[in-house]
A and B are shown apart, each in its own frame.
Chain A
Amino acid sequence: MLNKLLNLVAACFLMQALNLSAQEAQPMQNNAAVEVQVQRLSTQLRCLVCQNQTLADSHAALAQDLVQEIREMAAKGMSDQEIIDYLVARYGDFVRYRPPLKASTVLLWLGPFALLLIGGFGLFLQLRRRQTMASDAPLTAEETRKVRELLNK
């Protein structure tokens, strides 16, 4: 596994060093709208090689190929949703930085709220218990005398 990773990294560097990457992302100045769409999409999609980077942040050869692919689809007039669907069909939901809400991701989406609810309920119980515990008991005559004595020392 490490081998493979190192190999990928080395390949990325080597290809850049030799300037052999198949398609360097070339901005098309003539179509600003397409570039805006490419920018928007490439910050929402994950580079599958360097998994914690978006396509926009990544310099991996695959990320650049995918950006180029997105650019061509955008130039054909495809919508954001169509382009995302195209990539999800090939790479799965993992390619999206914002996972869709479905059965397998329910815990991911609702888990934090469930924890908040549980925590809030626990806090409520705790506070209520403390309230009943802390009701002031009146001091006896003996105790009052002792308090006075201590304070007057």
Chain B
Amino acid sequence: MKRALVPLVIFLVVVGFLFKGLFLNPREVPSPLVGKPAPQFNLVRLDAADKTFSPKEMLGKVWLLNAWASWCAACKDEHPLLVELSKSDFVPIIGLDYKDNNQDAQKWLDEAGNPYAINAVDADGRVGIDYGVYGVPETYVIDKKGSIAYKQIGPITMEALRDKIVPLVKQLQAQ
């Protein structure tokens, strides 16, 4: 009798592993940058071509760095949420316009609204590589000391905003 149970137990263990696998997302690669200082850069601004932006300017503030592009459909999904978030003045959103065309980017922002306090132009994707961007949109929460506290891979959803990003930003702002 006991002997007959062995295959059943093995089967259940395998089922357990496969069941857990159903809820894993292989496209989400955990970022090794969380907890580390945000990589420095100095990029021309989309909103003011004669000025540049560097993350140093944001020291002392909690902020979001949102990698996006006008050619990216998933970015358009999250865009209305970003616009809403920017209206609340809760946290500044800095855009990283990733491998985009400036005219297309500006046209999209004119049409859909501009949630970004500042937009940095990463035309060749070099800064994206430094931040480990492998598919836009990606969003980084950066704390007052300039360290990456969280990385959102893929579009920001209502749930991610409510359950992760907003509480985290509040907590970091209180520090």
Contacts and interface: CB of A to CB of B under 8 A. Distances in A.
Contacts of B77: 3
B73 A3 contact: yes
B71 A11 contact: yes
Interface string B21-65: 000011101111100000000000000000000000000000000
> For this complex, into which size category does the number of interface residues on chain B fall?
20 to 34
Contacts of A88: 32
A91 B32 contact: yes
Contacts of B26: 51
Contacts, number: 67
Contacts of B73: 3-4, 6-7, 10
29 contacts: A1-B27, A1-B154, A3-B73, A4-B135, A7-B73, A10-B73, A11-B72, A14-B71, A22-B99, A22-B124, A22-B125, A49-B135, A51-B27, A61-B99, A65-B124, A65-B126, A69-B126, A69-B129, A88-B32, A89-B32, A89-B33, A90-B33, A90-B131, A90-B132, A91-B29, A91-B32, A91-B134, A92-B31, A94-B29
Given A48-B134, A89-B32, A90-B33, 12 more contacts: A1-B27, A3-B77, A4-B154, A4-B155, A5-B27, A6-B73, A10-B73, A22-B125, A62-B125, A65-B126, A90-B130, A94-B30
